[in-house]
C-alpha cells in the first residue's frame, strides 16, 4: 500500500500574526526561530515549494543581545560596485544607527534565496520601539524559549 504525500493548496493556507520582543535575546538564535516561522516549517502542513509561513512583528530590535566581542569584531560589508566602493561597518555602529537593517540582514541570511525567499521576507516587520501599527491584524504574543 502506497502512501500519498499531501500537498497543501494556496486556498488552504491560514496565516497568523505573531509579535516577538527581541529585548535581551541573542540575535542569531532569535533570527533562526523567526526564519522557521516565516518559512512555515513549524506547521504540519509545510510544503517546500509554497509559502505557508506566518507574519512576524519584531519589537525592540535595538535592544537585541550580541554575545562575546561581536560588537567590535563583527563587520557588515556593502559595496557600491565601483572601484574602492567597499564600506565596512562594525556591529556596534549597526546596532546604534541601523538596528532594523541589522536584524533584517540576520533573518534574510537564513531564508531561501530566490523569489520564494523574497516572498517570505516580506512578511517580516521590524521596529525599534514597543509599539507597532499592526493592531488591526490582532497579533498573538509569542514567547520563544531562547
The domain segmentation of the chain, as residue ranges, is 16-66+97-141
Q: Let me know if domain 16-66+97-141 sits in CATH 3.40.50.150.
A: no
Tell me the average pLDDT across 26-34: 97
Q: How many CB atoms lie within 10 A of CB 134?
A: 14
Q: Which pLDDT tens digit goes with each residue over 64-92? A: 999 999 999 999 999 999 999 999 999 99
Tell me what pLDDT residue 4 has: 76
Cell digits of residue 75: 563587520
- CA gap 62, 100 in Å, rounded: 7
Report pLDDT for 81: 96
The helix or strand, by DSSP H or E, that contains position 104, with its residue range, turns out to be helix 99-108
pLDDT of residue 6: 76
Q: Which pLDDT band holds residue 5 (cuts at 50, 70, 90)?
A: confident
The answer to whether the CB of 94 falls within 8 A of the CB of 71 is no
Amino acid at each position: 500500500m502506497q502512501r500519498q504525500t499531501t500537498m497543501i493548496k494556496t486556498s488552504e493556507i491560514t496565516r497568523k500574526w505573531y509579535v516577538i520582543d527581541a529585548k535581551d535575546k541573542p540575535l542569531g538564535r532569535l533570527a533562526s526561530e523567526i526564519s522557521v516561522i516565516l518559512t512555515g516549517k513549524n506547521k504540519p502542513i509545510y510544503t517546500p515549494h509554497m509559502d505557508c509561513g506566518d507574519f512576524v512583528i519584531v519589537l525592540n530590535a535595538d535592544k537585541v543581545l550580541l554575545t562575546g566581542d561581536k560588537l567590535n569584531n563583527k563587520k557588515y560589508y556593502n559595496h557600491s560596485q565601483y572601484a574602492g566602493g567597499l564600506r565596512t561597518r562594525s556591529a556596534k555602529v549597526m546596532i546604534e544607527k541601523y538596528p532594523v537593517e541589522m536584524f533584517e540582514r540576520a533573518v534574510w541570511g537564513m531564508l531561501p534565496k530566490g523569489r520564494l525567499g523574497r516572498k517570505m521576507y516580506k512578511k517580516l516587520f521590524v521596529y525599534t520601539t514597543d509599539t507597532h501599527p499592526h493592531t488591526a491584524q490582532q497579533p498573538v504574543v509569542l514567547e520563544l524559549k531562547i
